[in-house]
Amino acid sequence: MGNFLSRFNIHLNTRIDQREVYRIPPHHKCRNCGQGCDPSKSENTCVNAKYTRTGTKDQPAVYRAVVPNNKINWSTSYEYQPVEFTSEKVKTSTKEYVDKDPRDDPKVEIPWNLDDRLCDRRSYHGPYKVVRRVPQNPCGRTGLTGRGHLGHFGPNHAADPIVTRWKRDQNGQIMVHPRTQKQILEFVCILRKDTNEYAIPGGMVEKKEKVTDTLQREFHEETLNFPDLDERSKHNLLATIKDVFENGGIRIYCGYVDDPRNTDNSWMETTAYNFHDGNNEHLALIEVHGGSDASKAFWHDLGSETPLYASHAEFLTKVADIHNAHW
């Protein structure tokens, strides 16, 4: 995969919830192996399979139709037999507003491309097509139709807090990477329970929730799991997070995420913000401990050496760029 983010028109500012139209990325990471390979090349094993396993390790196997990179775009004709899949958990969830397949009931008018105040169905990339009563993934074919493991048809909105500090030695000096000769950043990283991959501690924007609140809630749930902390310390910790998250931060990205759960009709979009404590004044002093969907949380070196979930490496490249740090 090339530089996913560089294909977007990224604006850096601190306003949240502002809708802007970004250019749509031309292709996905390979969904067949998840590695960004090109299944149309003969040396690639993906080319030999018609269907490949998708989803997470703790879910029953689901197979996607293999889509060669040059057939991802909807405008390219392709004899295509995607697999229809919506997980039982999603189908039976009482939490989801869009909890039934709209094709089952032609009388139900779904307000696609709109925010009806119960659900924001707008995409950061502008209006998407609705084909046979379901949204069409603006980034092309994925080998799977339905909602997969996602709660909503169309865009599923998430938020990603990228909390960073400089890596320091015992004397407090910022450490420099021997290869790039650039200073090293650390970020708050989690190990996702579902895929066992390193990731930013992001999560879904809940109904009627503002992105700024999601950023705080997810950071709290996934990285600040201290059941034994006394009430006063807990209060101080949350006050620090609230103060920094609401008053600082650089928007790194908003738009489509190359998430393994994406289908032809449901996809992830996120807003990623960087909160940097360059002088060890507030966030840098926080100890982290995994909770909720994270089996672990820890400060981790920011660099190309670490493989990360979905498009998270692309967001962190941008963060490294902004701070002129090692990548």
Q: Which residues in this chain contact ligand RP5 in the complex, by CB under 6 A?
A: 158, 160, 199-200, 202-204, 257, 259, 268, 270, 293, 310
Would you say 120 or 160 has its CB closer to ligand RP5?
Answer: 160
Residue 100, CA distances (Å) to 97, 104, 108, 128 in order: 9, 8, 10, 20
99 or 293: CB nearest ligand RP5: 293
**Choice between 140 and 202, CB closer to ligand RP5:** 202
How near is the Cβ of 236 to ligand RP5 at its closest, in Å? Answer: 27
Q: Which is nearer to ligand RP5, 183 or 314 (CB)?
A: 314
Q: Minimum Å distance from CB 273 to ligand RP5?
A: 12
Phi, psi (rounded to 5 degrees) for 69: -55, -40
Comparing CB distances to ligand RP5, the nearer of 68 and 146 is 146
Q: What's the min distance (Å) between Cβ of 238 and ligand RP5?
A: 20
The smaller minimum CB distance to ligand RP5, of residues 68 and 155, is found at: 155
Report the residue number whose CB is nearest to ligand RP5.
202
Could you tell me the smallest distance in angstroms from the CB atom of residue 179 to ligand RP5?
A: 28
The token pair at 224 is: 């600040």
What HEC string does the chain produce? Answer: CCCCHHHCCCCCCCCCCCCCCCCCCCCCCCCCCCCCCCCCCCCCHHHHCCEEEECCCCCCCEEEECCCHHHCCCCCCCCCCCEEEECHHHHHCCCCCCCCCHHHCCCCCCCCCCECCCCECCCCCCCCCEECCEECCCCCCCCEEEEECCCCCEEEEEEEEEEEEECECCCCCECECCCCCCECEEEEEEEECCCCCEECCCEECCCCCCHHHHHHHHHHHHHECCCCCCHHHHHHHHHHHHHHHHHCCEEEEEEECCCCCCCCCEEEEEEEEEEEECCCCCHHHCCCECCCCEEEEEEEECCCCCCCCCCHHHHHHHHHHHCCCCC
Q: How far is the CB of 30 from ligand RP5 (least distance, A)?
A: 17
Distance in Å, CB of 292 to ligand RP5, minimum: 9
Residue 218 beta carbon to ligand RP5: minimum distance, rounded to whole angstroms: 7
Cβ-based nearer residue to ligand RP5, 68 or 154: 154
